[in-house]
Structure 1
Amino acid sequence: MSNGPGSDPRWRPLAAARPAMTPEWWRWVASRDSLTARLVAAGGHRAFRVRLLDQRLGRPRRDEALALGLPLGRLAWLREVALCLDERPWVMARSVVPLDGLHGQRLDRLGERSLGSWLFRQPDLARGPLEVAADPAFFPAASGPWARRSVFRHRRFAVLVQECFLDTMTDDLGLPSR
C-alpha cells in the first residue's frame, strides 16, 4: 500500500513506526481488534457515541484510491465520524468504500453506529496490513499523535478505514504525546 507509485509518504508500515512509538501507543495503534470495543472499555463510565460528520458519494484522495486499487477519479462512498466519550472526540475516522463493492450493503443507514459494529460481525472478515502516520492529513483540523489505516475485506466488499487518535484521548487517558 505505502510503497506503490504515487502513494502518500506519510503512511508507512506499522513495523517502521515502532521505534518512534511508546509502548502505550503501540498497544492502541497496533491492535487489530475492534477500536470501538477498545474505546468503550478504556472509557469506563464515560458514554460512547459515534458522531456522524459527513457521509456522501465523492472522489477519494489519490493515496486512498491507490490503497484500494481503485482507478483515480472513480466515485466512492465516503464517511467521516468522530468517536467520542462523554461528547469529547477521541478518534476521527474516515472510511472509503468503492461503489462496485457495496453489493447491496446499505452503509448509509449506519447513522451514528460505528462501522466496526458491522465489520467485526462478518465471519470471513480479513484485515490487511496496518499503516501508520505521525502527520495525519485526512483530517486537517484534527490534532493527534498517531493515525493508522488498513483495508478490510469481506467477500468482494472492501473498505479503507483510517483512524486518527486525537490529543483529547491522549489527555483523558494520560498517554504520552508520542
Structure 2
Amino acid sequence: MSVAWWHWVASRDSLTHRLIQAAGEHPFRVQLLNEGSDQPYRDESMALLLPPERRTWVREVALCVDDTPWVVARSIAPLGSRHAAPFRSLGETSLGSWLFRQPDLERGPIEISHAPRSIQGHTGLWQRRSVFRHSGWTVLVQEAFLPQMAEALGLPC
C-alpha cells in the first residue's frame, strides 16, 4: 500500500471530516443506500461477538463529492433499543459526524483488506473496518474506498 493510501486507510480520526476537507469547494453529501433490520454476514457477527442468527440494524451509505461516490460504508449494530437506536434516525447524516462527538468513544483495531466485498454494487480498492464502542453500545463500521476517489485525489490504483 502506498503512503498516500495509508494516510486514508489507517487514519483513526473521522473519515467524514477528512473527505469534507479533501472535497474543498465541492459539495459533500451522504446518500442513504439501504437501511433496516437484516442478517449480518458471518464475519460481521464474529467481529461483533454475536451469535450468527442474531438480527442486526444494517445501514449502507455512499459518501459523495459532487454526487460521485468516493466511499461506501456498511454499519452493523445489534438490534435492541440501546444498540441500534442512535442509527435509526440518521437518514442522510454521516454516522461519523455523530460518532466522533461522543466523549467516551472507543475504537478497536482497524482491519484492512485489499479484496473487499461489494457494498450495494460498489467495490472498493481498499476496505477497512473497526468496531466502535460508546456507553454500552457497539457498532461495526466498514468503509470501502472507491476508484473515483483515487482518480479525484491522484491516488494510485
Same fold (TM over 0.5): yes
Distance in 2 (alpha carbons) for counterparts of 1:104 and 1:60 = 14
Distance in 1 (alpha carbons) for counterparts of 2:81 and 2:9 = 27
Distance in 2 (alpha carbons) for counterparts of 1:40 and 1:175 = 17
How far off its partner does 1:106 sit? 3.8
2:55 corresponds to which residue? 75
**Count of paired positions:** 157
SS state of the match for residue 80, structure 2? Answer: helix
Q: Which runs of 4+ in 1 moved over 2 A?
A: 100-106
Does structure 1 retain, via aligned residues, the 8 Å contact 2:124–2:145?
yes
Does structure 2 retain, via aligned residues, the 8 Å contact 1:101–1:156?
no
Does structure 1 retain, via aligned residues, the 8 Å contact 2:45–2:52?
yes
How far off its partner does 1:118 sit? 1.0
Runs of 5+ in structure 2 lacking a partner?
A: none
How far off its partner does 1:138 sit? 4.3
How far off its partner does 1:104 sit? 7.5
How far off its partner does 1:140 sit? 6.5
The change in CA–CA distance for 1:28 and 1:103 in structure 2 (over 3 A counts) is closer
Does structure 2 retain, via aligned residues, the 8 Å contact 1:52–1:112?
yes
Please tell me whether residue 109 in structure 1 is matched to residue 89 in structure 2.
yes
TM-score, normalised to structure 1, is 0.85
Does structure 1 retain, via aligned residues, the 8 Å contact 2:116–2:144?
yes
Percent of residue pairs identical:
56
Of the three residues 8, 14, 18, the one matched with 1:34 is: 14
1:125 corresponds to which residue? 105
TM-score, normalised to structure 2, is 0.96
SS state of the match for residue 102, structure 1? Answer: helix
Distance in 1 (alpha carbons) for counterparts of 2:141 and 2:20 = 19
2:126 corresponds to which residue? 146
Please tell me whether residue 65 in structure 1 is matched to residue 45 in structure 2.
yes
Q: Give runs of aligned pairs for residues 158-169 of structure 1, distance below 5 A.
A: 158-169=138-149
Does structure 2 retain, via aligned residues, the 8 Å contact 1:96–1:160?
yes
Cα RMSD (Å): 1.4
How far off its partner does 1:142 sit? 1.6
SS state of the match for residue 143, structure 1? Answer: coil
Distance in 2 (alpha carbons) for counterparts of 1:82 and 1:123 = 26
How far off its partner does 1:162 sit? 0.1
> Amino acid of the residue matched to residue 52 of structure 1?
L
Distance in 2 (alpha carbons) for counterparts of 1:96 and 1:57 = 10
Does structure 1 retain, via aligned residues, the 8 Å contact 2:14–2:96?
yes
Does structure 2 retain, via aligned residues, the 8 Å contact 1:145–1:166?
yes
